[in-house]
Amino acid sequence: MCAEDRLYGCAVYHKELNHQYDTEAHQHEHSVQRTYACDVCKKMFRRKSDMKTHQFIHTGQRPYVCNVCNKTFSLKCNLKKHQFIHSGQRPYACDVCKNTFRRKFDVLSHQLIHSGQRPYTCNVCNKTFSRKMTLKKHQLTHSGLRPYGCDVCNKRFSQKTTLKTHLRIHSSQRPYACDVCNKTFNHNISLKKHQLLHSG
């Protein structure tokens, strides 16, 4: 990995950035006076335009619309990221496993899996993770929060992916097939248990 591809961190917010230049420019923002305050949450901004864009979070305004699926966004940058889904473009490839990604940050973050680095630690159980987002999802299991609810049976889940898996119970989806007898299953774990029957 080139020096320019390393993840750099902001000392103030522990924000991950792709380049040392980005880090220096980002940290300069902390030294510039912020004179514009959001009248709802009092967060401060250097530019009035940044403050007005931030206020979309509070007003619920989502002025940026995807011209393919009509999904709306409060920030233009989020619309641009979303549009990669429709284009199918995944220009960044992992040099180890050849998986491809839409954003450079995603491939750099993914490569931590191959390096064995697990820099994020849960402050409750000390379990470590290679990605910050995975740690955040994990921490929901300790919080007791279950923000994702099933519309069919009202069962609640701490993670969106767990809800998606659960929803297969209520549908006819059986995406996992045995390569020996072609029997299908709605969960990967059920397929693995079944395959033990074939292994004797």
For 104-154, how does the pLDDT look when each residue is reduced to its tens digit (9 = 90+)?
A: 888 888 888 888 888 899 999 999 988 888 898 888 888 888 888 999 999
For the chain, give every domain's residue range. Answer: 45-89
- Would the pLDDT of 95 be above 80? yes
More confident: 30 or 33 = 33
- Would the pLDDT of 49 be above 90? no
Distance CA 155, CA 125 (A): 26
Looking at domain 45-89, its CATH architecture is: 2-Layer Sandwich (3.30)
Residue 29: the pLDDT is: 58
- Would the pLDDT of 31 be above 70? no
Mean pLDDT of 59-80: 88
